[in-house]
Structure 1
Amino acid sequence: MSDETIIYTHTDEAPLLATYSFLPIISAYAAKAGVQVETRDISLAGRIIAQFPERLSAEQRIDDHLAELGELATKPEANIIKLPNISASVPQLKAAIKELQEQGYDLPAYPENPQTDEEREVRAKYDRVKGSAVNPVLREGNSDRRAPASVKNYAKAHPHRMGAWTPESKTNVATMGEHDFRSNELSVVVESDDTLRIEHVAADGATTVLKDDVKVLAGEVVDGTYMDVAALRRFLTEQIARAKADDVLFSVHLKATMMKVSDPIIFGHAVQAFFPTLFEQYGEQLAAAGISPNDGLGGLLSAVADLPDGDAIKAAVEQGLAEGPRMAMVDSDKGITNLHVPSDVIIDASMPAMIRTSGHMWGPDGEEDDTLAVIPDSSYAGVYQTVIDDCRANGAFDPATMGSVPNVGLMAKAAEEYGSHDKTFEVPAAGTVRVVDSAGNVLMEHEVQPGDIWRACQTKDEPIRDWVKLAVTRARATGAPAVFWLDETRAHDANLIAKVKTYLADHDTDGLTIEIMAPAEATAYSLERIRRGEDTISVTGNVLRDYNTDLFPILELGTSAKMLSVVPLMNGGGLFETGAGGSAPKHVQQLVKENYLRWDSLGEFFALAASFEHLATTRGNARAQVLADTLDRATGTFLNEDKSPTRRIGGIDNRGSHFYLALYWAQELSTQTDDAELAAAFGPLAEKLAEQEQTIVDELLAVQGSPADIGGYFRPDPAKADAVMRPSKTLNDALASF
């Protein structure tokens, strides 16, 4: 790999399909500036395949590209464009394994309850793949995420539809407030480099090491907490009764992808709480058959067909649905409920969508209605309740006038990766879970009961310093207030507040407004400014970074996929993320059904421009800067001409939007005056694309309406996917001759 190389990641679902169409354009244009574009496969299927080279043929093997990119991210030459990837729940992981097996890959089944050393080794490999396995590896820097001016201006000029709110809305958030992760949290700052261990001490004194060799650095913040599962079950039962009494839809909102260990367990408790009779009568039989409520109602219903009491179990499910409150639906036409699949209702996407739609979700009758949104852990539930209360009092937000809430997020070196790693445990027996240093000192401990969910996380000091620096930099660059969303009454946040105050003193903050507020208070402050059309930078930890960079963009822009997401890597490289992929599955389904891909690649356009600019700045490549500047202008034209994919078949889709971006970009390059040789090179292409515009559009539209065969969902066949995503021979020939 040369110093002037951009790594474009090969990921999953709609972003992957879009790559087949867009990457040939990128590669052709970049080559004229001496920039090489390479791909690395960090898709879910690719990550699975990389775990089992010994079982596969030479042609089937894939190197561990994620580990390779993780190493690259620590080097100054890193320039990585990272598209959205699947953060796999267990059902998604199982589905991907099944597809790969059907494609001829000799992969072992996912061991639900490993009993042998071999099964435990297989399970450990799969556990490295599931959940948010990619982001913590690549994110060697903190996050700077914001709406580009062109997108914000377009949203103001062409505001998206917002559902009306009334003071009578019965939509609310329900959260525990006690006996949960937030209220049980303990936090320490370690004084020197050390190696910690996490252990469980049973009531009889037997000690089991849950995790050893936990390396920490001086100044690192280490947290431990647990969810009291008995209290969780009482809470869930109460909220089910509350939704029934209030005659609102019942929904559960978790993060079963990022929180890949803790939240599927919580989800499973919600399934059991909603169907108490089912599990009282058939729980043992389901468990004996390896059917886990953690996988959701959908997995349960498909698996019980082979059980002797399968029909009776299905009848018990129907009885539970009839007796309980009306459940929010993922797809009411297909009967897919909020509790069908843990990864179907992800809090950071589902809550903003609900707020945008009058506080409504879809009910079993196919109609919208008020909803009780159950968010068990109270750490950040108040953020959503504050927004709901504001909308109830003041009505829906107006995208034509509202301000913006960009984000500076703490995430470098796996900061605050709560629940998504190997430091989360379902407690096996009553006793104490404690964190012990190498000298045997107990740093923190919790009394726990069987089934409680205990978890720890780490936040290193260097990323915190860098996070504060980035917050001051963005406040200085924009003039907007920067608010650290930290709660002094929470253990972890109290330690961060002390560090923030210390490190702010290292910077010139004269003339800047920098505040520290608890999340609900910071939300109210930001909403008040939003309604006045003013911007406020939210400076948050990792989880709130995830939540806020969906919440505010979905309200402001209608989507979070149009955000510019820059990660200045701490060792000088750049990571450029292209937006969220929450709607990607539905887009793939539509493509397969009617050869129409609605995915909007605007996030890829912004990331690419930032990547070229970084290359110009760090490598002195003047032509890369020309590519960046002209791409920015082309994207502005693209927005003004409204060439994003249309909402339905018959208009241009993702492939058409790529053609128009290529056209406008070539035109900008051919008329720019900074590089005459480059202008001359792109002149003929710009002329050819303009002359053949109607032919190309006709070729792209002609394929719509019939099923498309891409050869696989998790691992499409490259030849088939390329043929589907590049159906215009005229465009393909123009790029090839260029």
Structure 2
Amino acid sequence: MGIIYTFTDESPALATLSFLPIAQAFLSKANIKIDVSDISLAARILAAQNSYLKEEQKVEDALAKLGELVKKDGTNLIKTPNISASIPQLKAAIKELQEKGFNVPNYPDNPSNAEEEQIKENYAKVLGSAVNPVLRQGNSDRRSTNAVKEYAKANPYKVKEFSKDSKTRVSYMNDGDFFDNEKAVLIPNDGTIKLYEVVNQEKNELKSFAVSKDEILDATFMNVEKLDKFYDEQIKICKEEDILFSLHLKATMMKISDPVLFAHALKIFFKELFTEFKDEFEKLQINPNNGLSELLSKIENSNKKDEILKKYNEILEKTPISMVNSDKGITNLHVPSDVIVDASMPAMLKNGAKLWDKEGKEKDTNAVIPDKTYATIYEAVIDDLRQNGTLNPSKIGSVSNVGLMAKKAQEYGSHDKTFIANKDANYVIELDGKEIMRHEVKKGDIYRINLAKMDAIKNWIKLAEQRFEQSKEEVIFWLDEKRPSNKIMIDIIKAELANKFKILKPYDACKESLRIIRSGKNCISATGNVLRDYLTDLFPILELGTSAKMLSIVPMLNGGAMFETGAGGSAPKQVEQVIEENHLRWDSLGEFLALQSSLEYEYIHNKNQKANVLAQAFDEAISNYLEENKAPSRKAKENDNRTSHFYFALYLANALAKQNQDMQLQSFFKEVADKLNKNVDTIFNEFMQEEGKKVDLGGYYVLGQKAQEIMRPSKTLNDIINFIKESK
């Protein structure tokens, strides 16, 4: 079957254009083919709207195809980070595709007929975390390798000191949130769930789906009246204490609920604006779910533009708000995908718990995370910093993660079971006609159902136990018995493991994990799906300065494996630098680590001895890459992503040339190593002479020949790679 390598978006996609030809050439000598699967946002849009395309433009649904492959034993998949698209990103990608001649339809905000309803439904499959739930047919094992961790300790990133006088705080709702309103059951038998909206004894079916015995079902809702009061209180606190208002949500992964949470914050922060210009905003069809950016764009066509902007600027003058880009006036409320909690909160915490105001100055912050379910982990970090001082990355240990995510476990699978109540009602859940749960909701409340299957849960528990046996590092399950679904999981864990590991609520688990790593030791966090997502950014960023250097393995329930290659949180800014300076600072260490693990899997699963030789050479090349500090610099005219690939190829060829397990590989790569070593200066200079210039990638969401040429500017290196590929 070989290895499948995903082509995705932004920085990882540009990096793939440079690295993949090198990887394909080297692995071909071990008789391993790397096939590419395009699951980028643009490709997903085309697949979703195939019926609108000319015959020669139609594409296969690569994501659906991969979704079937990951359920099969032997599948070996390398997954690079992709865009979890918000509606503004979706619209931008649609516009670019249309400009390139693809007749995909516009996204209809307010469908007016059956065709537009269908178009919107098709696009819904592209929005948010459309990729990960399909591919993640196993649980997650994410950690820092010893080589990466030791390098980080010896070469720690520059830490901003945390002041014990800091006014920074994490704020969340005291009541009325998803945590408070949750109910959960362990499904007693296979059957059919029906969700009804009940008003005056009249039942309207909202959803029907099958469930299996021993599946955990939980349901909850967010009271938006209390949410609005909460936002109002937080804005007043920001004014009184002169700290920045900063909203942190997950409007990509939680693609139904969190854009609405975002919109409520926007409408409360700019209450005067939305009140005074209510009729004008309705006329312009402004959807607050999409943020300030769309609002400011749409008022360009309004004859009240000047009045609106005057009021807008007045509000910004009297209420401090954090800025995504102070120079460009881009606030924390401009685009929902700019406030992604798992990337934005750790970045704030390692920056001395400060963000930036409209003048570009660092300032203490009110980090607003409405739902207390997970907000408390960030509160725990702030409390720890206040009690124990700034973390020292040269001394602290590591927190790795074993995450429950198989079969769309928990909130990742909730998109098609999330509803915005359009009237006051009772939401009633029945199993085979018998009521098992009921919530009283008001118009506008956000209601959702989550599921976790028993085989996925037991596999997760087993994986945590296996990681303990391999590492002897303490395992902590992050679960709160006050949350009904967690209480059921706790009972399952105790039945499976007795009291082998600690089970702590997220706040306490975070504090305990910080205590352990401050002592120089390591520990393992065993968490549900959303915490997996948050923690695999939080601790790597605190420890290493980035989450892109982690090894992420997903052993599939059916025997295959997926190797994920790091996070893409800063990818848009990195692409901007490529366009301005032809310098890509994306670090492909995650790709190197993933490919090494993928080769180990190939050796174990298919007994390919050459794959084992390559895997060992990868290990040596990764060590050399770290020791020689060939990671990309932030500055143009210094090492970037492309030169890092060259040096990695050099170290890999040298390792293969001196190994003596496979003489055929040794003989061939001696010649390759010789060519590379002789041309180090020539190749480096070919890269450097292209840096520092503006370039045209030919697109942002659609990368073609122009981007390929920009990402492979060294003729000498290209000739050597072609020599490897073409040699028999």
TM-score normalised per structure 2: 0.98
* Count of residue pairs the alignment pairs up: 724
2:60 maps to which of 60, 63, 66: 63
The match for 1:320 is: 315
Contact 1:132–1:420 (Cα < 8 Å) also in 2: no
The match for 2:240 is: 245
State yes or no: 1:378 paired with 2:363.
no
Deviates most, 677-686 or 307-316: 307-316
2:475 maps to which of 482, 506, 510: 482
State yes or no: 1:115 paired with 2:112.
yes
Q: What is the CA-CA distance between 1:395 and the residue it aligns to? A: 1.2
Q: What is the CA-CA distance between 1:420 and the residue it aligns to? A: 5.0
State yes or no: 1:721 paired with 2:707.
yes
The match for 2:17 is: 20
Deviates most, 670-679 or 306-315: 306-315
**Correspondence 1:659-698 to 2 at 5 A:** 659-698=646-685
2:410 maps to which of 406, 416, 422: 416
1:208 maps to which of 204, 209, 215: 204
The match for 2:446 is: 453
Q: What is the CA-CA distance between 1:421 and the residue it aligns to? A: 1.3
The match for 1:735 is: 721
State yes or no: 1:544 paired with 2:531.
yes
2:423 maps to which of 414, 418, 429: 429
Partner-residue secondary structure (3-state), 2:246: strand
What letter matches 1:683 in structure 2? K
Contact 2:414–2:450 (Cα < 8 Å) also in 1: no
State yes or no: 1:348 paired with 2:334.
no
**Partners of 1:497 and 1:640 in 2: how far apart?**
43
The match for 2:542 is: 555
Q: What is the CA-CA distance between 1:596 and the residue it aligns to? A: 0.7
**Partners of 2:414 and 2:308 in 1: how far apart?**
32
State yes or no: 1:632 paired with 2:619.
yes
Contact 1:260–1:419 (Cα < 8 Å) also in 2: no
Distance change >3 Å, CA 308–CA 206, structure 1 → 2: farther
Partner-residue secondary structure (3-state), 1:199: strand
1:39 maps to which of 36, 41, 44: 36
Contact 1:262–1:419 (Cα < 8 Å) also in 2: no
What letter matches 2:419 in structure 1? F
**Partners of 2:702 and 2:218 in 1: how far apart?**
38
1:296 maps to which of 291, 309, 312: 291
Contact 1:361–1:371 (Cα < 8 Å) also in 2: yes
**Partners of 1:352 and 1:306 in 2: how far apart?**
39
Q: RMSD of aligned C-alpha atoms?
A: 1.1
Deviates most, 190-199 or 149-158: 190-199
The match for 2:258 is: 263
**Partners of 1:295 and 1:573 in 2: how far apart?**
38
State yes or no: 1:642 paired with 2:638.
no
**Partners of 2:603 and 2:117 in 1: how far apart?**
48
**Partners of 1:670 and 1:360 in 2: how far apart?**
49
**Partners of 1:597 and 1:58 in 2: how far apart?**
36
Residue identity (%): 50
The match for 1:124 is: 121
The match for 1:229 is: 224
Q: What is the CA-CA distance between 1:166 and the residue it aligns to? A: 1.8
State yes or no: 1:311 paired with 2:311.
no
The match for 2:356 is: 362
Contact 2:184–2:218 (Cα < 8 Å) also in 1: yes
Q: What is the CA-CA distance between 1:437 and the residue it aligns to? A: 1.5
Contact 2:579–2:695 (Cα < 8 Å) also in 1: yes
Partner-residue secondary structure (3-state), 2:249: coil
Give a deviation string over 1:546-582, Cα, whole Å, max 9, x none. Answer: 1100000000000000000000001110100001001
Partner-residue secondary structure (3-state), 2:181: coil
**Partners of 1:358 and 1:309 in 2: how far apart?**
41
Q: What is the CA-CA distance between 1:721 and the residue it aligns to? A: 1.1
Contact 1:201–1:207 (Cα < 8 Å) also in 2: yes
The match for 1:90 is: 87
What letter matches 2:149 in structure 1? K
The match for 2:514 is: 527
**Unpaired segments ≥5 residues, structure 2:** none
Q: What is the CA-CA distance between 1:283 and the residue it aligns to? A: 2.2
Give a deviation string over 1:643-663, Cα, whole Å, max 9, x none. Answer: 000120110110000000000
Contact 1:259–1:419 (Cα < 8 Å) also in 2: no
Give a deviation string over 1:37-75, Cα, whole Å, max 9, x none. Answer: 000011010000001222112332210000100100000
**Partners of 1:258 and 1:504 in 2: how far apart?**
31
**Partners of 2:536 and 2:468 in 1: how far apart?**
17
Give a deviation string over 1:621-650, Cα, whole Å, max 9, x none. Answer: 011111111101100000000000012011
Give a deviation string over 1:435-487, Cα, whole Å, max 9, x none. Answer: 1122x111211101110000111100000000000000001100111010000
Distance change >3 Å, CA 669–CA 418, structure 1 → 2: closer
**Correspondence 1:501-512 to 2 at 5 A:** 501-504=494-497
**Partners of 1:6 and 1:427 in 2: how far apart?**
45
The match for 1:80 is: 77
Contact 2:239–2:318 (Cα < 8 Å) also in 1: no
**Partners of 2:528 and 2:148 in 1: how far apart?**
25
State yes or no: 1:329 paired with 2:323.
yes
Contact 2:413–2:451 (Cα < 8 Å) also in 1: no
Contact 2:129–2:412 (Cα < 8 Å) also in 1: no
The match for 1:195 is: 192
Partner-residue secondary structure (3-state), 2:399: coil
**Partners of 2:486 and 2:647 in 1: how far apart?**
47
Partner-residue secondary structure (3-state), 1:422: helix
Q: What is the CA-CA distance between 1:392 and the residue it aligns to? A: 1.4
State yes or no: 1:284 paired with 2:297.
no
TM-score normalised per structure 1: 0.97
State yes or no: 1:104 paired with 2:97.
no
2:461 maps to which of 444, 458, 468: 468
Q: What is the CA-CA distance between 1:419 and the residue it aligns to? A: 7.4
Q: What is the CA-CA distance between 1:208 and the residue it aligns to? A: 2.3
Partner-residue secondary structure (3-state), 2:366: strand
Q: What is the CA-CA distance between 1:206 and the residue it aligns to? A: 3.4
What letter matches 2:716 in structure 1? T
Contact 1:434–1:445 (Cα < 8 Å) also in 2: yes
Deviates most, 474-483 or 416-425: 416-425
**Correspondence 1:127-146 to 2 at 5 A:** 127-146=124-143
1:177 maps to which of 174, 177, 180: 174
**Unpaired segments ≥5 residues, structure 1:** none
Partner-residue secondary structure (3-state), 1:75: coil
**Partners of 2:271 and 2:712 in 1: how far apart?**
51
**Partners of 1:309 and 1:241 in 2: how far apart?**
28
What letter matches 1:112 in structure 2? D
State yes or no: 1:587 paired with 2:574.
yes
What letter matches 1:363 in structure 2? D
